Structure 1
Amino acid sequence: MNLNTEIKGLGYPILCLHGHPGSGRSLSVFTNHLSQHYQTIAPDLRGYGKSRSKGDFQMEDHLTDLESLLDRLKVERCLLLGWSLGGILALELALRNPQRYDGLILIAAAARPRGNHPPISWQDLVFSGVAGIINGIKPGWQWNIETFGVRSLFRYLISQQTPLAYQYIASDGVLAYLQTSKAAERALYRALRSGYNRLDALHQLTLPCLVLAGANDVHITAASSEETAQAIKQCQWRCYPNTAHLFPWEVPDQVLKDIDTWLKTLGNNYSH
């Protein structure tokens, strides 16, 4: 299917893939910055954002959609950046056609993703609902963060309860959550129940890779991300203390600086 896609900037292309729930817009923390020197291509995956899907589909359909998107845009080679589920899809694209991709950036992702999320109580859900509604009306309001946010499920997504992180949740997170289809949820959970594990295939990758993780991530643990980094031949690894799954919204300046530094190691062929 044709994916709704946001393209920014000029230069060497970077295919930017969002997580679950999410949309291309959820990656603005990356695309707004990287598009100053590269061309960023940020699609809404099938069943997410404005890429509406009829009926059920499999995770493999995402890969077919993405390869078709690159073909339609006449992108022969590019870099890959993926956050969470987007990182897993980026990894699969690289394994599927390694000659097409020149570098891989994995954000809070793993080839054998493991989580350790605590049980969710009804109080968690209530506080999350209230915090989310108030944050939608007044993004980043310190009173809301201190009163409801720190008691809500947001505490497992962001360790640093800052107004900036809550502003990102309001601008880039809530709509993406509301636009995520049930079919997309079912496709993801089927893959997780099957025990997704691609560690044994990582030795095939020879492209340079950067793996970034939040130390307190309970959705895809830092340990599982590090395990992936250690299995890839050409890989740099960075773990950010006192951050969680949404760490690019907690410490965006540091994350973008590290990505810029890594991109420079690839040489001038990939810069605008």
Structure 2
Amino acid sequence: MTLVHDVAGDPGAPAVLLLHAGVADRRMWDGLAPALGGPFRVIRPDLRGFGDSPLPVGGPEYTNAGDLAALLDDLGVEDAAVVGASFGGKVALELASAHPGRVRELVLLCPAAPGVPDTEASDAFDAEEGRLLEAGDVEGAVRLNVTTWLGPDADDAAREALAVMQRQAFEVQLAADAAASAAGVPEPGPSPVEVDLAGIHVPTFVVEGAHDMDMLRACARHVAATVPGAELSVLEWAGHLPALERPDAMLALLLDVLRDDPTVHAP
């Protein structure tokens, strides 16, 4: 299947692929994509199970990296700078590992990453989210995610936008799980992709939010320390989703990094 996606900007400009967080969808980039579409060709997909991309039940195996490589093929894009937030950062690393020729640069905003142990805080979050969903309290689970993942600078509009996206993701994923259970087939989801951080050899810029959960802060530091030549920037104001918390500041940062401006790498 072809991922639902938006494309903006000059078709002849360098491509930038924006990968959303696991609590969001392609709409999380609404505050950044129009301005990025000036110097770049901006591609923002919904991964399967998020936004408008369905989560097929009982279909063939797939990987997120494979879906993205196929999307780039469909669009005639040889390679792209890949900006990934949270879960989207992990998917960006999977794409760079499985299809290295398709990635010319990585910008990872508070990425999830393999090889980092859970913490008391992350275990407590997972347990509470699971409890709420098991009880059928989707709205409670939505509120938990909004409260956990947005930092102190997020305004009411950002909180409402995240709630809308997270609610839709829960609805799509829970419906697919229920359909799989009724059909007696495994719950749908991507096949794992092995990520070799030390084997990634493209310019890599990693953002860590000072107000992020401890496990995610450790992920950012682990990626920056393991990918050869990676650069780490700690944003003292940021939580887990800086692109939603301060879109203007993140636009400045992304333009600096993606234009390879060595003078300013932080807002």
Unaligned runs of 5+ in 1: 133-148, 268-272
DSSP-derived class of the 2:107 partner:
strand
TM-score (norm 2): 0.75
Q: 2:18 aligns with which of 16, 19, 22?
A: 16
What count of residue pairs does the alignment treat as equivalent? Answer: 243
Q: 1:222 Cα shift?
A: 0.9
Aligned residues of 2:209 and 2:239 also touching (Cα < 8 A): yes
Q: 2:151 aligns with which of 151, 159, 178?
A: 159
1:249 lines up with 2:244 in the alignment: yes
Aligned residues of 2:204 and 2:230 also touching (Cα < 8 A): yes
Q: 1:127 Cα shift?
A: 11
Q: Provide the C-alpha distance between the structure 2 equivalents of 1:100 and 1:190, rounded to a whole number of angstroms.
A: 20
Aligned residues of 2:17 and 2:82 also touching (Cα < 8 A): yes
How many percent of aligned residue pairs carry the same amino acid?
Answer: 24
Q: Provide the C-alpha distance between the structure 2 equivalents of 1:101 and 1:16, rounded to a whole number of angstroms.
A: 12
After TM superposition, the structure 1 stretch with the greater mean CA deviation from structure 2, 155-164 or 98-107, is: 155-164
Q: Residue 73 of structure 2 corresponds to which residue in structure 1?
A: 71
**Counterpart residue type for residue 53 of structure 2:** S
Could you say if the C-alpha distance between residues 84 and 130 of structure 1 is closer, same or farther in structure 2, counting changes exceeding 3 Å? closer
Q: 1:47 aligns with which of 49, 66, 73?
A: 49
Q: 1:77 Cα shift?
A: 1.6
**Counterpart residue type for residue 82 of structure 1:** G
Could you say if the C-alpha distance between residues 25 and 154 of structure 1 is closer, same or farther in structure 2, counting changes exceeding 3 Å? closer
Counterpart mapping for 1:1-272 below 5 A? 1-10=1-10, 11-56=13-58, 60-112=62-114, 113-115=116-118, 116-117=121-122, 118-119=124-125, 120=128, 129=139, 153-160=145-152, 161-169=154-162, 174-180=167-173, 183=176, 198=195, 201-218=196-213, 221-265=216-260
Q: 1:36 Cα shift?
A: 2.2
Q: Provide the C-alpha distance between the structure 1 equivalents of 2:62 and 2:215, rounded to a whole number of angstroms.
A: 20
CA shift digits 1:149-184 (9 cap, x unpaired):
7xx553311231533432533565544554445558
**Counterpart residue type for residue 55 of structure 1:** V
Q: Provide the C-alpha distance between the structure 1 equivalents of 2:117 and 2:61, rounded to a whole number of angstroms.
A: 18
Aligned residues of 1:108 and 1:220 also touching (Cα < 8 A): no
Aligned residues of 2:50 and 2:168 also touching (Cα < 8 A): no
Could you say if the C-alpha distance between residues 48 and 169 of structure 1 is closer, same or farther in structure 2, counting changes exceeding 3 Å? closer
Could you say if the C-alpha distance between residues 48 and 204 of structure 1 is closer, same or farther in structure 2, counting changes exceeding 3 Å? same
Q: 1:57 Cα shift?
A: 6.4
Could you say if the C-alpha distance between residues 130 and 61 of structure 1 is closer, same or farther in structure 2, counting changes exceeding 3 Å? closer
CA shift digits 1:63-88 (9 cap, x unpaired):
22211111111111211111122111
DSSP-derived class of the 1:265 partner:
coil
Unaligned runs of 5+ in 2: 179-186, 263-267
